[in-house]
Amino acid sequence: MDNGREFHADAVADALLNLGVGCEFSKSRSPNDKPFVERFLRTLNYSLIHKLRGTTLAKAHKRVGFKAEDDAVLTLEELDRIIHVWICNIYHLRPHQGLEHRAPINVWHDLAKINPPQLKMNAADIDIEFSELNQSSVQHYGIDLNTFVYSSDRLLTLKRLIPQKAKVTVKWPRNDVGHIWVWDMTVEEYFKVPNTNQEYAGLTQEQAKAARKAKSFGDPSFAQTAAEAGAIVRGMVAAADKDAKLAKRRTGSRLANRTSKDAREIRAQAHDFESTLRGDIRDPASAQLDDGFDEIVVDLPGDLDTRSGGTE
């Protein structure tokens, strides 16, 4: 892995270890320690990113007198979609020199027949493993974490089974402060412990913090003070979206927890609906390759042609 601070987090190491993956870090300023990902990023940048309006360009001397912000025209969702289409419809379908001039998708299908991909665990377990890691003491009323209290009958039973002042392993998801996961060493499994204040269930850590701050500074006579935390957050996001300042709108986007994943889900639902209406008459053999992208219309740079037979 790279040496970014986020990769050195205990939560990352613990999650990967539980998935059977060992952490190994590349040396500083040594791209040859991870050549495959570096080579792919170069291909992505020079074949696509640097040909889009708003790119920051690859070389520093080319940036003199150039402001990428003035030419930027893509939203995060649009950029995510263009990259997705480029990978599926161009990168995966063109011959690569390193694969003996075979297309990556063909190599993948051939190898998948020999060794079918298998998940190590279900999606729910993955969500638990990639939550934040913490060691917490169990009080007589539950666990204090991130200014919230979490408690359940099973947690208080566990407290009586462990030594006094002993701490338990806790996994807490940043995207939902409504619950945490506590490791039960007696049966070797995580169990769910709810937030004693379910008003904040479903809110991210940042949203809950903003809602609590709004409540603490609100006048008791204001209707907002008595509003649900979720309603307060939605109101703050709506106000930020209408603000003329970019910084405010960015804050609103973070508070709304908007990601490119949301745009993908909306598109997937629309595509499923369209397929249902027309009976989805596509050839299954071709669907295996394009995965529905025959219906996508995206203006990519003109010289990105899959028929050129270019090499990786």
The stretch 162-171 carries a mean pLDDT of 94
Is residue 304's pLDDT more than 50? Answer: no
What percent of the chain lies above the pLDDT cut of 90?
Answer: 38
Give 200: exposed, middle or buried? Use CB within 10 Å, 0-12, 13-18, 19+. buried
Residue 69: what pLDDT?
Answer: 82
Residue 74: exposed, middle, or buried by beta-carbon count in 10 A (0-12, 13-18, 19+)? middle
Q: Which of 190, 200, 191, 184 is nearest to 148 (CA)?
A: 200
Average pLDDT score over residue span 278-285: 42
Max mean pLDDT among 22-36, 40-54, 179-193, 236-250 falls in 179-193
Mean pLDDT of 22-31: 88
pLDDT greater than 70 at residue 136: yes
User: Would you state the structure tokens that stand for residue 72, as one six-digit string?
Assistant: 């930027």
The pLDDT, as a whole number, for residue 90 is: 95
Output the CA angle 242-258-135, nearest 5 degrees. 125
Q: What is the pLDDT of residues 48-71, one digit of tens each?
A: 999 998 888 777 777 777 788 888
The DSSP letter of residue 183 is E
Q: Where are the beta strands (DSSP E) in the chain?
A: 132-137, 143-145, 148-150, 167-172, 179-184, 189-194
Average the pLDDT over 29-40 and give the result. 88
How confident is the model at residue 64, as a pLDDT?
Answer: 79
Return the pLDDT at 227.
61
Quickly state the pLDDT bin for 77 (edges 50, 70, 90): confident
The residue ranking higher by pLDDT, 198 or 295, is 198
Q: What is the pLDDT of residue 126?
A: 87
Among the listed ranges 105-114, 174-183, 247-256, which one has the minimum average pLDDT value?
247-256
Grouping H, G, I as helix, E, B as strand and the rest as coil, residue 131 is coil
User: CA separation (Å) from 46 to 34, 199, 202?
Assistant: 19, 48, 40
Bridge partners of 145, per DSSP, are 148
List, in order, residues 6 or more apart from 146 with CB less than 8 Å away.
Answer: 172, 177, 205
More confident residue, 162 or 64: 162
The pLDDT-based confidence of 261 (bands split at 50, 70, 90) is: low
